[in-house]
Structure 1
């Protein structure tokens, strides 16, 4: 791979091995159809992946020098080089078959660019805050005693941290209705979410939907929790039951790794979307 600069442009070329070559290049670039769906796969049709910066300062991804487009037909552009490199790496990592369901960064970018549900920042924030009312760590059981103690020991420290970090009150409840979240708390979190740009906010909402928890998501984005910790805490009751009764062979580990991958991608997307500086002469390795 090599990197060259031409004026404002930064090009990064990645050599990829492929059977079939350019003959099928039009398949994605000329007729992109829902390649971010959970089960879609397609035979790989390109050899080179490149990143370039346009005159508007946005970064583009090209496959065999043809510009990538979104499923909605828009030019695929991202706001900074770091995010462009992350997306290019996903395309670089694909082998003979393109597994689009593994390309979480690409999918998140497509969601922002196409905005298929036509939402604005306020609507995304409202949707994210709804998870606070049913937050995983706020719902406690009354039995069995082992799970009650586990939830207290594992979830209480995270709740204590976020209440002190944001100077809010959340609490927990064994009632099916959950705790009553004060309006002041909701407003504090609304203002905090509003501080993110549209790209980062989309990624944060994605993390919240994976973990079913605003508390754990904030802990992850603030680097108070690791991805592994956040995922494990979001699955606490399930893990307890598995330890007690056992699990279906391979299925449990697969679900765990998939959730980790999605959560990690969402967190990385948030941080990269918030990145304002440009990475200079960053090389991708085959």
Structure 2
């Protein structure tokens, strides 16, 4: 299957047509607005695409400058604008719904991937302990939060003080970090790994490697699986975009 067919498949988002010649950045009283041929980019809710950090604004403008250029018909999809999607979430979802976003992210901590180990002893439980426990230890040492670990899939109830600390910790994050965590945490299945990413304690590649331990052990035993490799690659893209958004937003 060609790249174009994958990008513009019938079950994917409808492609849009490039209509502008130049993308730029305009400084305003509220920050840095992204423009197309001098006119502000408007998000679906009508808000201008405006951020407070120039490096992030320049990266957003670069996305729009490149969108559609690699297609003979000038078509592009939201997948070509990953940083814009996160910025849009920050402006139109996180800003007006901070408490809901914090509660949603904290719920991943209540059921964090790193806390659920294989039920029977074997190579998988060894690898899970090796690659997951250091990040639970990091959470305790860095933020004073201890999460319980179980073996098997039966839900475990985390201590309420720990969950409250997670909510408090998330409340200290700015809107940009919460928007980026809203991409990284569901992709990883782990709030712990997401927080380590936000703190710069783990790289995107390390976070994805940790989150995909089960899949990698499975492939080491049974051979590579194209569907699993595609899922890991998609996870890597999401986590890398989220980490880049947070880094640029602090510039």
> Does TM, scored on the shorter chain, surpass 0.5?
yes
Aligned counterparts of 1:236 and 1:260: Cα–Cα separation in 2: 14
SS at 1:170 equivalent: coil
Q: Which has the higher helix share?
A: 2
Aligned residue for 2:42?
69
Q: TM-score, normalised by structure 2?
A: 0.85
CA contact (8 A) 2:109 2:166 kept: no
Partner of 1:46: 20
Distance 1:106 1:118 in 2: 15
Match of 2:4 in 1: none
Q: Which residue of 1 aligns with 2:237?
A: 261
1:156-214 deviation line (CA, Å, top 9, x unaligned):
11111211111221131014334432222112222211111223212222211111101
Q: Write the distance in 2 (CA, Å) between the matches of 1:113 and 1:264.
A: 20
For 2:83, the equivalent position in structure 1 comes to: 105
Residue 173 (str. 1) matches residue 150 (str. 2): yes
Q: Contact between 1:57 and 1:79, CA under 8 Å: does it hold in 2?
A: yes
Q: Could you tell me whether the CA contact under 8 Å between 1:203 and 1:267 is conserved in 2?
A: yes
Provide the aligned C-alpha RMSD in A.
2.2
Residue of structure 1 in register with 2:52 after alignment: 79
CA shift digits 1:57-112 (9 cap, x unpaired): 42111112222111222222122212211211211232233232131110112223
TM-score (norm 1): 0.75
Deviation, 1:41, is 2.1
The separation in 1 between residues aligned to 2:53 and 2:216, in whole angstroms, is 39
User: In the aligned structure 1, how far is the partner of 2:222 from the partner of 2:107?
Assistant: 33
- Name the residue aligned to 2:61: 88
CA shift for structure 1 position 128: 0.5
- The runs of 4+ residues in structure 1 deviating greater than 4 Å are none
Cα deviations by residue, 1:247-268 (Å, 9 ceiling, x for unpaired):
334x444332221111111122
- Counterpart among 194, 211, 220 of residue 197 in structure 2: 220
> CA–CA distance in 2 between the matches of 1:85 and 1:218?
26
CA distance in 2, matches of 1:73, 1:62: 14
Query: After the TM superposition, which residues 4-153 of structure 1 pair with which residues of structure 2 at under 5 Å, given as runs?
Result: 39-54=13-28, 56-94=29-67, 95=69, 96=71, 97-115=75-93, 120-143=97-120, 145-153=122-130
Task: Render the CA deviation track for 1:20-46: whole Å, top value 9, x for unaligned.
Answer: xxxxxxxxxxxxxxxxx9634223222
Q: In 2 relative to 1, CA 199–225 (structure 1 residues): closer, same or farther, beyond 3 Å?
A: closer
Larger Rg belongs to: 1
Following superposition of structure 1 onto structure 2, how do residues 181-196 of structure 1 map, counting pairs within 5 Å? 181-196=158-173
Provide the C-alpha distance between the structure 2 equivalents of 1:122 and 1:177, rounded to a whole number of angstroms: 28
Return the alpha-carbon distance in structure 2 between the equivalents of residues 260 and 165 of structure 1. Answer: 25
How big is the shift at 1:119? 5.1
